Amino acid sequence: MITVDDALGHLMALVSPLDSEQVPLIEAAGRVLATDVTARRDQPPFAASAMDGYAMRADEVEQHSIFKVIGESAAGHRFEGQVKPGQAVRIFTGAPVPAGADFVVIQEDISRSGDLITIASAPSSNANIRALGGDFKIGDRVTAPRLLNPSDIALLASMNIANVPVTRRPQVALISTGDELVMPGENPGPDQIIASNTFGLKAMLDQLGAHCRILPIARDTEASLTMGFDLAAGADLIITIGGASVGDHDLVGKVAGDLGLERSFYKVAMRPGKPLMGGRMTGAAMVGLPGNPVSAMVCGHIFIAPMIRCMLGLGAVPCSPRTASLSAPLPANGPRQHYMRAKLDQGKIRAFDRQDSALLTVLAEANALLIRPPNDPARTIGEQVAYLPL
Amino acid sequence: MITVDDALGHLMALVSPLDSEQVPLIEAAGRVLATDVTARRDQPPFAASAMDGYAMRADEVEQHSIFKVIGESAAGHRFEGQVKPGQAVRIFTGAPVPAGADFVVIQEDISRSGDLITIASAPSSNANIRALGGDFKIGDRVTAPRLLNPSDIALLASMNIANVPVTRRPQVALISTGDELVMPGENPGPDQIIASNTFGLKAMLDQLGAHCRILPIARDTEASLTMGFDLAAGADLIITIGGASVGDHDLVGKVAGDLGLERSFYKVAMRPGKPLMGGRMTGAAMVGLPGNPVSAMVCGHIFIAPMIRCMLGLGAVPCSPRTASLSAPLPANGPRQHYMRAKLDQGKIRAFDRQDSALLTVLAEANALLIRPPNDPARTIGEQVAYLPL
């Protein structure tokens, strides 16, 4: 048995950032920028009015002054002439400021009569002009790697980046194993249960940017498991669920070994999730997760999520624990690191009483995994503990 | 001008939870459960072994006791007989516990010779048996509304819910307006800029569960805007961007009014985002957002996101501000509520120096909106302020 940190180290060594692909901007949200992109234009591309009003010469701006309106500059349609002393141009938000003008008086401060305007109220000192390139200039960079959020998408649009280089999605093959499993919607026999881990893991990893394929359930035979691995061809990461423990029917380690798995480790000192295995197999990373539903999902959060982020180019960084104060005491922990299903509420955290690794109802109620280090002593209310948000 | 809270009240009155649809479980992650679902089975459906080991009668479990192994119970293949005194059944994790047995000794505590086993080590007091229905029973509920996360998906799978009733996605039509706009990938003229708001808003709202359509850019003419509204037919929410201020070319209010808009309000005492309008139009909610990129995105976070959540059935709840302590002083605020682009770092927050509502580079660097109430006095380092995470 190795520690969680050692297991993470082994797993991160199995993956590296994937190559990139171009996607249309409309599909780039939530993807990871793979290489720096540079603005194709200045923004704004001209000195632009920040308000609706009148453009004139700053040295003439004074209450009660009178100007002749000689034209209009609208967004998309600039005034082509020059603003000379005593002159003003009607201007709208986003429109180019005409040559000669360097101040915009907002229309609320103006009284107009025909082509003549008077500055009726004392204008503010703000020129209401956005300088050319004030937001960004040609060649300004958005640097990779970067998980693209909605604001980034708006920024890339305004830079005229119509196609975006992003890291391609990690291809993940999910194989659940076991004669007891049937797919949702089937009629299970009296000794059978429904395969749930592949569905939960797909939801988790797709959300992070992976593309998961759920493969047919592999039965507890060497032939069926071999077929499962065959079907996983092309995946960057092959995940098996179940069949990795010490039972006579736990064939994942043997079959994967026969197919060339170079195993990096087996068994981790943690609860839930001890019978975890990892290695390299026909060019892909391979992780064997335990079959208990909660174990599989917890290992997904602790181990698989950082592997996906690494493949996406976001760095080999494990999840960072946060801290909260206990609202219920905890007994001493045993020799394995324990990820307890817990509820975080207004900065206080308590572990659920029932921690059996088969209880999906408890996991669904949890919003945090409370982390107990190996041999952590008993803890009392108010003590600070580490947790990972779910 | 009305307050932000009043505007939110008006906007929430324009929307209500949408009807539901059935989706396959594999597509249900991130959707909102629309009606309660009930478990179609008990989980586990039988008393199940939690470990690999030997099933026997609890009253016979004692170190050095010897048993005859009479069969095997594997996951998916139960032992059909009865365990009598002096007998044991080889059993594996997840397998049904055979009749007569009520204890599983883990295999690590057993020594075996042919069909005889001896309890070699003092067994734990834990019977290692998961009771029938210990996770959930037939009829147990997952209650709506609920934003379905990966753990929920695993739980629904194990309950054998192959199709899930979810609120249908709000259909949103996004219309940017202005003669100065071109689409990303086009060659803008010297007076033109790239439409960015529709792309940023689509990324934001799709992530929340909406389905946004970006419509053709509407030009600053009544005919073009009318065509834009025609193309929005079928949307639950019509969002225009730009053209809603006081300029002569700001035609959104007029054209929408001619097409039947029942306007609930116009202008909100906030920065950025003052020229905001909302109302009801041909059966849909309509919101006119300001055209400055940052204004549009901030209004998206403050106003549109809660509308989407309400339509999804998650309640008419505005975003809940959090608090953090200032790491840089703030000047006094004016009469409008100010949403300042800010950076939150390790629990401390500071507003960016440049707050012009045209600066997408600043928005992209921000991870929070620092909220200044109207006429908030100057604030010093260390004071607590409200913010919304971005």
Instruction: List phi, psi (to 5°) of A257.
Output: -60, -45
% of chain B beyond a pLDDT of 70? 99
CATH T-level fold of B48-130: Molybdopterin biosynthesis moeA protein; domain 3 (2.170.190)
Residue of A93, A135, A193 lying closest to B43 (CB–CB): A193
In angstroms, the CA A347 to CA B266 distance is 39
Residues B321, B349 contacting (CB under 8 angstroms): no
Q: Do B180 and A292 touch (CB under 8 A)?
A: no
Q: Which whole number is the average pLDDT over B377-385?
A: 97
Grade residue B317 by pLDDT with cuts at 50, 70 and 90.
Answer: confident
Tokens standing for residue B15: 């929307």
Residues A369, A298 contacting (CB under 8 angstroms): yes
B207 contact A CB<8A: yes
Q: What is the pLDDT of residues B162-184, one digit of tens each?
A: 999 999 999 999 999 999 999 99
Q: What is the pLDDT of residues B204-214, one digit of tens each?
A: 999 999 999 99
The CATH H-level (homologous superfamily) assignment of domain A4-17+168-311 is MoaB/Mog-like domain (3.40.980.10)
In angstroms, the CA B60 to CA B87 distance is 10
pLDDT at A278: 96
| Chain A residues with beta carbon closer than 8 angstroms to that of B158 | 193-194, 196, 293, 360
- Indicate the SS3 state at residue B202: helix
pLDDT higher than threshold 90 for residue B82: yes
Residue of B154, B160, B197 lying closest to A154 (CB–CB): B197
Q: How many residues does chain A have?
A: 390
Q: At what angle do helices A197-208 and B150-158 cross, to 10 degrees?
A: 160
pLDDT at A320: 86
Q: Do A358 and B44 touch (CB under 8 A)?
A: yes
pLDDT at B249: 75
Q: What is the pLDDT of residues B88-140, one digit of tens each?
A: 999 999 999 999 999 999 999 999 999 999 999 998 899 999 999 999 999 99
pLDDT at A32: 98
Tokens standing for residue A371: 């982390």
pLDDT at B318: 80
pLDDT at A282: 86
Residue B46: closest CA among chain A residues belongs to which residue?
A191
Q: A192 vs A177, A290, A330, A335, B180, CA distance in Å?
A: 13, 18, 35, 33, 64
pLDDT at A216: 97
Handedness of CA A228, A231, A233, A234 (dihedral sign): negative
B135 contact A CB<8A: yes
- Indicate the SS3 state at residue A243: coil
| Chain A residues with beta carbon closer than 8 angstroms to that of B69 | none
pLDDT at A317: 80
Q: For chain B, give every domain's residue range.
A: 4-17+168-311, 22-41+144-167, 48-130, 322-389
| Chain B residues with beta carbon closer than 8 angstroms to that of A181 | 76
Cα separation of the two ends of chain B: 26
pLDDT higher than threshold 90 for residue B27: yes
CATH T-level fold of B22-41+144-167: Molybdopterin biosynthesis moea protein, domain 2 (3.90.105)
CATH for B322-389 is 2.40.340.10
Residues A176, A290 contacting (CB under 8 angstroms): no
CATH T-level fold of A26-43+136-167: Molybdopterin biosynthesis moea protein, domain 2 (3.90.105)
pLDDT at A355: 94
Q: Which one, of A351, A345, A349, lies nearest residue A331 by Cα?
A: A351
Decide whether A26-43+136-167 matches A322-389 in CATH topology: no
Residue A39: closest CA among chain B residues belongs to which residue?
B361
> Which residues have CB under 8 Å from B212's CB, separation 6+?
B172, B173, B174, B201, B202, B205, B206
In angstroms, the CA B359 to CA A130 distance is 10
Residue of A151, A184, A291 lying closest to B200 (CB–CB): A151
Q: What are the average pLDDT values for consecutive 10-residue runs of chain A, which has 390 residues?
A: 95 97 98 98 96 95 96 95 97 95 96 96 92 97 97 98 98 96 96 97 98 96 96 97 78 94 95 92 95 94 97 88 96 96 95 94 96 97 96
Q: Do A191 and B77 touch (CB under 8 A)?
A: yes
| Amino acid at site B16 | S
Cα dihedral B67, B71, B72, B73 in deg (nearest 10): -100
Residue of A95, A194, A363 lying closest to B157 (CB–CB): A194
| Amino acid at site B144 | A
Instruction: List phi, psi (to 5°) of A141.
Output: -105, 145
B130 contact A CB<8A: yes
Residue B151: closest CA among chain A residues belongs to which residue?
A364
pLDDT higher than threshold 90 for residue B244: no
CA distance B195 to chain A (A): 6
